[in-house]
C-alpha cells in the first residue's frame, strides 16, 4: 500500500488529474456532516468502511483511489483491502482529515 502525507495530497491529485482520481472517504455520514474534504480535480466518493464490500462496484478500476478517514486507521485498512482485491493504484492519506485540518486548512472543524 502506498501512503501520502496531507502536504503531498494536492500535488499528487494535480499530477494525476488526467486520470480523475477518486477521493474515497470511508467515514460515517455523521462524520462527513462535521468535516468533509472536497478538492478540485477529484471525484469524491463517500462509502463508510462497513459498506465497502457491498459497494465495490462503485469504485473505478482505471483511476487512482485515495482513501481518507478521521485519523488514517480505517483508510489504511480499506487501502490494503482494495489492493488485495486487485485495485492497482490505491493510496492512503496518513493522519486523515484530522491531519488535513491541522496542517492544511485550520478552518475545517476538528472532532
- Rounded to an integer, what distance in angstroms lies between the CA atom of residue 82 and that of residue 72? 15
Residues carrying an active site annotation: 69
What is the distance, to the nearest Å, from the Cα of residue 32 to the centroid of all Cα atoms in its chain?
12
Question: What is 2-83+94-103's CATH number?
Answer: 3.40.250.10
Residue 28, pLDDT > 90, answer: yes
- Alpha-carbon distance of 17 to 19, in angstroms, equals 5
Average pLDDT over residues 82-100: 97
Q: Is residue 39 scored above 80 in pLDDT? A: yes
Task: State residue 33's pLDDT score.
Answer: 96
Q: What is the pTM of this model?
A: 0.95
User: What residue segments make up the domains of the chain, in order of their start?
Assistant: 2-83+94-103
Amino acid at each position: 500500500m502506498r501512503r501520502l502525507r496531507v502536504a503531498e495530497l494536492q500535488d499528487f491529485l494535480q499530477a494525476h488529474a488526467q486520470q480523475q482520481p477518486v477521493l474515497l472517504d470511508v467515514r460515517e455520514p455523521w462524520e462527513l456532516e462535521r468535516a468533509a474534504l472536497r478538492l478540485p480535480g477529484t471525484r469524491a466518493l463517500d462509502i463508510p468502511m462497513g459498506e465497502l464490500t457491498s459497494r465495490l462496484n462503485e469504485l473505478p478500476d482505471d483511476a487512482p483511489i485515495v482513501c481518507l478517514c478521521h485519523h488514517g486507521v480505517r483508510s489504511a485498512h480499506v487501502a490494503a483491502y482494495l489492493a488485495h482485491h486487485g485495485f492497482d493504484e490505491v493510496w492512503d492519506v496518513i493522519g486523515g482529515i484530522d491531519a488535513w485540518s491541522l496542517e492544511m486548512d485550520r478552518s475545517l472543524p476538528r472532532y
